[in-house]
Amino acid sequence: MTQFLLEAIWWVPCYGLIGAISTLPWALGLFRRTGPRPAAYLNLLMTTLAFLHGGFIFAATSDQEPQQQLFHWLKAADLDLSFALDISSVGLGAMELVTGLSLLAQLFALGYMEKDWALARFFALMGFFEGAMSGIALSNSLFLSYAFLEMLTLSTYLLVGFWYAQPLVVTAARDAFLTKRVGDVLLLMGVVALGSLAGSFNFPDLYQWAGTNPLAPTTAALLGLALIAGPIGKCAQFPLHLWLDEAMEGPNPASILRNSMVVACGAYILIKLQPILSLSLVAQTALIVIGTVTAIGASLVAIAQIDIKRALSHSTSAYLGLVFIAVGTHWTDFALLLLLTHAVAKALLFMSIGSVISTTHNQNLTEMGGLGPRMPATSTAFVIGAAGLIGLLPLGSFWALQRGIDHFWFSHPWLVGVVLLVNGLTALNLTRVFRLVFWGEPQQKTRRAPEAPWPLALPMVSLTVATLLIPVLMQHLSLLPDWIYLNWRGMVLLVISSCVGCGIGATIYLHKAWSRPLQRYWRMLQDLLGYDFYVERLYQLTVVLGVNLLSRIGAWLDRYLVDGVVNLFGFASIFTGESLKYSTSGRTQSYVLTILVGISLLCVLMTWSVW
C-alpha cells in the first residue's frame, strides 16, 4: 500500500485540479437546482484526499533518503523535457503545508462566502490554486516549476479579479497580472538560457553542472539576475511589490493563501536555485540589497496603513525580504524555517481579520474598536497569530529569526540589525492594529458585532491550536537548536526588539479620526509612508510615461511615415494606371508600330558600345 501511494504521489497536485474541474458544471451554471454548495463540498473532498495522501507518504518516508520520480515527456535529439518529482522531507513537508492550509482556507471560505452567488467559481479557482502550489512543492525540475508558476500567475489574476463588477478589483487584477508578467518573462529567458547551457532542466543535473562548469562573470551575472526576476515578482519584492497591496481587493479566503503560501512558492523556487545563483556574486548581492530594501521599507509602510488587510500584506513582503537575504547569504535552512513559521502565523492573522470583516463589513481601522470582548475567539486568534509571527518565545517565528541571527552574527553583523529592526517594526504594527480593532471604545460599526459563526470559527480555532503546536512540530523534526549552542545574546536582543515594538505600539497615541499632524514634517512623513514612498507615482513619471511616449511616437510613425509611404506607392500606381488607359486605342497597327519602335530602340542601345 505504501509503495503504491508513493508511486502515485504525482496524484497530489492532480487532486486540486480534479476538484477545480469537477466544480465547473456549477460554476458555469449548468447545475442550478442544487445551488453552488455541492461544488464546494467536492473541492473540499479532493483537498482532504490530497492532505491524507501526502501525510501518509510524509510519515512513511520521513526517515528515508530523498528519492526522485522521473517522467519523460518529450525527447528529441539532445532535448529531454522530463517531469521530475522530489520525494524528500522538505518537498513533502511543503506539500503538506500547502494542502493543510488550503483545506482550512476552503473551510473558512465556506462560511465567509456563503451568500456569494459565484461560490462554485471561487472554489474552482481555489482548487486550481492548490494544484499549482502542490506541484511547485513536489517539482524537482525547473521547467515544471516554471509551468506551475505560470498557473499561479493566472489563478492570482482570476482570484484577485473575482468580483469583476468593481472597477478597483479589475484594476488590481490587471496590475497584479502585468507586474508578475515582467518577472516571468525575464525568468523564462533565464530558464531557456540555463537549459541550453546545462543540457537539462532537472535540479540535480543543474547542481552537478553548477559545480563543474563555471561561467564567465558577465554570463553568470545576467543569468542570475534573470533567474531571480521571477521570484521578485512572485514574492512582491521591490521594485515589483505593488501588486500584493492591490491584490487585497480580492476575497479574504484567497488572501489567506496568497499571503501565506503563494508568495512562499516563489521563494521556494529561489531556494532551489541557490546553487546556481552562487555562481554570480552580482546575483547574490542583488538578493541581499533587494531583500534589505523591501524588508525595511515594507515594515515602515505597514505602520501607516489604515486598511486592515493592507496593514498585514506589507509585512508579508517584509518577511519574504528576509528570505531573499537568507538565500543571498547561502543560509537556506533559515529561509525554509522562516517560510514555515510565517505561513502558519500569517494565515491565522488573515483568518482573524477575515472574521472581523465578515461581521463588521468594514476594513477601515479608524472605524473599528472594542471588538475584543465581543469576539473573544477572533481576538485570541489575532494575538496568537501576531505572537507567532514576531520573535516572542517560545512560538515558531522566534526560533526561525533566532536561527537567522545566529547565522549573521559573525559573517554579516549588520544583517542582525536588519532582522531586529523588521521584527520590532512588525511587532509595533501588529500591536497598533490590535489596539485599533479589538481595544478601546466600540465604534458605530462595531457596537453590535457578534462573534464569527462556527464555519469561520472552526478553521480559525484549529489553526490557532496549530500555531501553538509549531514549536512541538519543530522539536519533532529536529529543527530546534541545542541549548548548549544557543546564542543567548542574540536571543535576548530578539526578545527586546519584540518587547520594544509591542511597547511602542501599545503606548503611542492613535486617534480614531486619524487626523493629520499640524507639523509639516510629520505630515510629509505620514504621506511618504502611507503612499509607499511614492513608488507608484515614480513609476507613473518614469516607466509609464516612457512607455506612453514610445507608444505615441510609434503610432505617429505608423500613421504618417509607414502609411504615408504605402499610400504614396498606392497613389502612384493608381495615377500611372489611369494614365496608361488613355494610350489604349484598340488599333492593331498602332500596337505593332509601338513594338517595332521599342525593339529598334533596344537594339540601338545594345549595339551602342560596339559603335
**How does residue 106 score in pLDDT terms, banded at 50, 70 and 90?**
very high
Assess whether pLDDT exceeds 70 at residue 282. Answer: yes
Residue 586: strand, helix, or coil: coil
Assess whether pLDDT exceeds 60 at residue 513. Answer: no
Residue 180, judged by CB atoms within 10 A of its CB (0-12, 13-18, 19+), counts as buried
Which residues, 6+ apart, have CB-to-CB distance to 21 below 8 Å?
Answer: 124, 127
Assess whether pLDDT exceeds 70 at residue 538. Answer: yes
Q: What are the residue ranges spanned by the domains of the chain?
A: 1-140, 141-530, 538-607
Task: Give per-residue pLDDT as tens, 584-600.
Answer: 666 777 777 778 888 88
Assess whether pLDDT exceeds 90 at residue 479. Answer: no
Which residue, 104, 102, 56, 99, is CA-closest to 465? 104
Helix (H) or strand (E) holding 80: strand 79-87
pLDDT attached to residue 578 = 67
Stretch 451-468: mean pLDDT: 90
pLDDT attached to residue 584 = 65
Of the listed ranges 1-5, 160-164, 257-261, 393-397, the least confidently predicted one is: 1-5
Residues in the chain: 611
**How does residue 501 score in pLDDT terms, banded at 50, 70 and 90?**
very high
Report d(CA 595, CA 555) in Å as an integer.
48
8-state DSSP, 365: G
8-state DSSP, 518: S
Stretch 416-430: mean pLDDT: 93
Q: Which residue has the higher pLDDT, 150 or 518?
A: 150
Stretch 387-411: mean pLDDT: 89
Report d(CA 147, CA 269) in Å as an integer.
12
Assess whether pLDDT exceeds 60 at residue 148. Answer: yes
Which residue, 126, 63, 69, is CA-closest to 99? 126
Q: Which residue has the higher pLDDT, 392 or 214?
A: 392
pTM reported for the whole predicted model:
0.88
Assess whether pLDDT exceeds 90 at residue 461. Answer: yes
Which residue, 128, 129, 148, 150, is CA-closest to 139? 148
DSSP 390-452: TT-TTSHHHHHHHHHHHHHHHH-HHHHHHHHHHHHHHHHHHHHHHHHHHSSS--TTTTT--PP
Task: Give per-residue pLDDT as tens, 261-277.
Answer: 888 888 999 999 999 99
Q: What percent of the chain has pLDDT over 90?
A: 30
Of the listed ranges 58-72, 315-329, 484-498, the least confidently predicted one is: 58-72
DSSP 244-297: HHHGGGS-HHHHHHIIIIIHHHHHHHHHHTHHHHTT-HHHHHHHHHHHHHHHHH
Of the listed ranges 76-90, 257-271, 367-381, 548-562, the least confidently predicted one is: 76-90
DSSP 182-195: HHHHHHHHHHHHHH
22-61 b/e (C-beta count within 10 Å ≥ 16 → b)? bbebbbeeebeeeebeebbebbbebbebbbebbeebbeeb
Assess whether pLDDT exceeds 90 at residue 392. Answer: no
